Amino acid sequence: MTAVPEIGVLALQGDVREHARALEAAGVRTRPVRRPEELERVDALVLPGGESTTMWKLARAFDLLDPLRKRIEAGMPAYGSCAGMIMLADRIRDGIEGQETVGGIDMTVRRNAFGRQVDSFESDVRLSGIGDAPYHAVFIRAPWVESVGAGVEVLGRAETGSNAGRIVAVRQGRLMATAFHPELTGDFRVHHYFADLVRRATEQED
């Protein structure tokens, strides 16, 4: 029995350390994952923000793409933020030539969707399942979710400006994704939500 679940952070590229810190604040153990053997050992995985094209190329070079797909198909919980959201999408728009994802969430995600003139912005978002107080979300060259399949729960939408209504947080069973970076703000409610999901999933398997 795993008393305290161990959550891997995909450590090919991106803000790995910030996620590890946020997860530890949420009461779980963490381990960087770069190789298939490391992936085998963890109970769940976070795919950080960074650059999805680089992450995809490195995942391919490190022979991680298929192991990632297999573990996700077998029910491993996973959470992706920003570039990590792109990696968990079954379909992407505005990817580079040949860009692949790991997939798992039945959604179409558009890369760099919020546009170049607003590469970064911050906005309050109400997220279902994490309490009433709005979540202060940081978006950095962020994607949005263009469409979701029937099994995907929308957890949050952009609330201001011309992009109000765009989906920015989703969950499908044990998989979740946000277009923003909850690891950067010190408000770790999203990581707590994921850690709880992982605890329930590992209890079911014990």
Catalytic residue, chosen from 82, 100, 192, 205, is: 82
Task: Using the minimum distance from each CB to ligand GLN, give the nearer residue, 175 or 199.
Answer: 175
Total residues at interface with ligand GLN (CB under 6 A): 11
Output the smallest distance, CB 128 to ligand GLN, in A. 23
Check whether 35 is labelled as a binding-site residue. Answer: no
Please, what is the minimum distance in Å from the beta carbon of residue 51 to ligand GLN?
5
Q: Is 103 among the residues that bind ligand GLN (CB under 6 A)?
A: no
Would you list the DSSP string of the chain? --SS-EEEEE-SSSSHHHHHHHHHHTT-EEEEE-SHHHHHH-SEEEE-SS-HHHHHHHHHHTT-HHHHHHHHHTT--EEEETHHHHHTEEEEESPPTT------EEEEEETTTT-GGGSEEEEEE--TTS-SSPEEEEEES--EEEEE-TTPEEEEE--SGGGTT-EEEEEETTEEEESS-GGGSS--HHHHHHHHHHHHHHHHH-
Active site residue 82: yes
Q: Is 200 annotated as a binding residue?
A: no
Catalytic residue among 181, 191, 192, 203: 181
Candidate segments 48-56, 100-108, 122-130, 152-160, binder of ligand GLN by CB under 6 A? 48-56
Residue numbers of the site for ligand GLN (CB under 6 A)? 49-52, 82-83, 86, 111-112, 140-141
Question: Which residues fall in the annotated binding site for L-glutamine?
Answer: 50-52, 111, 140-141
